[in-house]
Amino acid sequence: MAISVRNLSVDYNLSHVTAHALRDISLEIGKGEILGLVGESGSGKSTVAFALMGLLANNAKVTSGTATIGGRSYDLTRRDATAPLRGRGMAMIFQDPMLSLNPVFTVGTQLCEVLRRRLPGGDRKAHVAMAEEALAKVKLSDPKRRMGQYPHELSGGMRQRVVIAMALLSEPVLLIADEPTTALDVTVEAQIMREIVSLRDRIGCAVLLITHSLGLVTEYCDRISVLYAGERLEHGTVKQVQQQPGHPYTRMLFDCEVAIDRQRAVNVTENRFTVIPGELPDPFRRPSGCIFNGRCDVSFDACATTVPDEFAVGDAADHGARCLLLAGS
């Protein structure tokens, strides 16, 4: 069953001002699909995740938004709207696995707790067996011994595997992973990503992968949504967006990536990195027109005054971007 988020807007209230962190964000993820949500730091990626999980900071206010998860609608402007889904239906992997783990309980206790919540009245022995099996599935060596260990006895990669095992046991409809591998080494990153993919394959859940790495998106995701300063500027399948970026920002982001097979030029001045000049707009006062105006390399007069609607890119119905250059094309 598909997951959707409609018109999500979130404000953060500071003492005298209000930061509009998200403006009318919509997302859709098909069952068994992995959607990559990308954007620079501060663009609002974690705010999307927290709004869905009901984990927003106290000074946050959801001003609009509904989510459809598991066939039911949730009004996200209501606090704790998705509380019934936490731990059963929805699971989250954070960049720091310790946010999901309790330092004073053993791995086994925490895994069994997940099962106790999902299958109340179940048999403790059966739960232990299932927990051990989950640890084996995420390729943690020696699952029996791990069950008795505390989080601090494990490495960062192993802890993240435990969190994935917890997600696996909760059999979510939607798994949200917020920068799950950012703190890990590249070889461990690849292993953890493979575990997330295999979790998806096993339970067929939808996955929202939040990352600033386009490399991870193109390698592991089916679809991509590009966030900039709290607005979604483009969405489509990874293939569509990569082959024909509809928004200049998306194109520039891809141009910034350094490909591993890019060879060093003998002439040192050729070894330049592409950058996007300029800075994120003021979060307190949205400039008029296109949010990316001012940093865009192909903007024209109307971009300063007209907020672009979303237009289809090419003839694909499921590939859209908010750029005036697409109007009437």
Partner 1 sequence: MMDAISISKARLRFGQTIALDDVSLAIPQGTCFGIVGESGSGKTTLMRAILGLQKLDQGDVCILGMPLSHSRAALKKRARVLQPIFQDPAASLSPRSRIRTLMGEVATVLNEPLAVTYERLGVILNRLGLPKGILDKYPHEISGGQARRVAIARALLMKPSILIADEPTAGLDVSVQGDLLNLLQDIRQLENMTLVVISHNLAVVRLIAENAVVMRAGKAVESGDVASMFQSPRDAYTRELLSAWPRLRVE
Ligand X SMILES: Nc1ncnc2c1ncn2[C@@H]1O[C@H](COP(=O)(O)OP(=O)(O)O)[C@@H](O)[C@H]1O
CA distance 182 to 94: 10
Residue of 23, 27, 34, 45 interacting with ligand X (CB under 6 A): 45
Three-state secondary-structure class, residue 198: helix
CB of 60 to ligand X, least distance (A): 6
Nearest to 174, CA basis, from 202, 198, 208, 201: 208
**Of the two residues 138 and 238, which places its CB atom closer to partner 1 in the complex?**
238
Q: Which does 152 bind (CB under 5 to 8 A by kind): partner 1, Mg ion, ligand X, none?
A: none
Residue of 216, 227, 290, 324 interacting with partner 1 (CB under 8 A): 216
CA distance 138 to 93: 14
Neighbours of 26 (CB within 10 A): 15
Residue of 8, 27, 29, 46 interacting with ligand X (CB under 6 A): 46
Sheet of 206-211, strands arranged across: 90-93, 174-178, 206-211, 34-38, 223-228, 231-237, 320-321, 311-312
Q: Which does 203 bind (CB under 5 to 8 A by kind): Mg ion, partner 1, ligand X, none?
A: none
One-letter amino acid at 261 equals D
Residue of 2, 17, 31, 59 interacting with ligand X (CB under 6 A): 59
Contact by Cβ (8 Å): 139, 54? no
What are 252's two structure tokens?
A: 């520039």
Which part of the chain contacts ligand X (CB under 6 A), choosing from 53-61, 121-129, 235-243, 311-319? 53-61
DSSP state of 86: B
By CB under 5 A, how many residues form the interface with Mg ion?
Answer: 1
Q: Which does 189 bind (CB under 5 to 8 A by kind): Mg ion, ligand X, partner 1, none?
A: partner 1
What are 107's two structure tokens?
A: 């791995």
CB of 41 to partner 1, least distance (A): 6
CB of 195 to partner 1, least distance (A): 14
Beta strands in the chain (DSSP E): 3-13, 18-29, 34-38, 60-69, 72-75, 90-93, 174-178, 206-211, 223-228, 231-237, 311-312, 320-321
Q: Which does 47 bind (CB under 5 to 8 A by kind): partner 1, Mg ion, ligand X, none?
A: ligand X
CA distance 286 to 252: 22
CB of 132 to ligand X, least distance (A): 29
CA distance 317 to 296: 25
DSSP state of 308: P
Q: Which does 44 bind (CB under 5 to 8 A by kind): partner 1, Mg ion, ligand X, none?
A: ligand X
What are 218's two structure tokens?
A: 């193109």
**Residues near 186 by beta carbon (within 8 Å), at least 6 away in sequence:** none
Q: Per-residue x/- marks for ligand X, 3-32, CB under 6 A?
A: ---------x-x----x-x-----------
CB of 257 to ligand X, least distance (A): 18
**Of the two residues 172 and 283, which places its CB atom closer to ligand X in the complex?**
283
Q: Does 267 bind partner 1 (CB under 8 A)?
A: no
What are 83's two structure tokens?
A: 């509380």
CB of 276 to partner 1, least distance (A): 4
Residues 17 to 46 in contact with Mg ion, rule: CB under 5 A: 46
Binding site for ligand X (CB under 6 A): 12, 14, 19, 21, 39, 41-47, 57, 59-60, 283
Binding residues vs Mg ion (CB under 5 A) = 46
